């Protein structure tokens, strides 16, 4: 019986897609993905809407924003949420002209469409993200 299941091409495709999602760690998990040069581009392109929190270890406001980002990741499972440590990945921060921290950048289909600089209430960030979900 197990051998019959492995001959089902539709099942094979589903299992392969799920394995890729798990391996990337970027799909609908409610988690905030730690981003770096090896997964950043895939992350922003894999999601229709992706939110990236640019932060640094010395940035106190960044730590104030972190629980807001984590909460939104749980509440908005159709959006990809990631964090990029700008100390470890200065080239990516420079590419997107991130000059102040924290900066939250919203990507739509892999392209930057909006950004919020500084710590803002969850509702403001949530509303800015929602503006890109159904357009």
pLDDT per residue as tens digits for the range 17-70: 665 555 454 444 469 999 999 999 999 999 999 999 999 999 999 999 999 999
Q: Can you list the domains of the chain with their CATH numbers?
A: 32-130 (3.40.30.10)
Kindly indicate the confidence band of residue 108, based on its pLDDT and cuts at 50, 70 and 90: very high
Question: Of 24, 63, 48, 38, which is closest to residue 106 (Cα–Cα)?
Answer: 48
**Which entry of 62, 69, 98, 116 is annotated as an active-site residue?**
62
3 is catalytic: no
40 is catalytic: no
The pTM of this model reads 0.78
Query: What average pLDDT does the segment 68-87 reach?
Result: 96
Q: Is the dihedral of CA 76, 42, 26, 122 positive or negative?
A: negative
Pair 66, 44: CB distance under 8 Å:
no
| The pLDDT of residue 65 | 96
**Which candidate in 56, 59, 113, 119 is catalytic?**
59
pLDDT of residue 11: 75
């Amino acid at each position: 019986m197990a051998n019959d299941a492995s001959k089902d091409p539709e099942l094979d495709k589903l299992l392969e897609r799920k394995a890729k999602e798990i391996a990337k760690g970027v799909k609908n998990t409610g988690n905030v993905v730690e981003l770096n040069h090896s997964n950043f581009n895939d992350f922003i392109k894999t999601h229709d809407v992706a939110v990236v929190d640019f932060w640094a270890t010395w940035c106190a406001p960044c730590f104030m924003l972190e629980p807001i980002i984590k909460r939104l990741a749980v509440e908005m499972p159709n959006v990809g949420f990631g964090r990029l440590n700008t100390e470890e990945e200065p080239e990516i921060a420079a590419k997107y002209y991130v000059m102040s921290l924290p900066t939250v950048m919203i990507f739509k289909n892999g392209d930057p469409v909006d950004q919020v600089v500084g710590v803002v209430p969850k509702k403001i960030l949530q509303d800015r993200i929602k503006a890109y979900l159904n357009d």
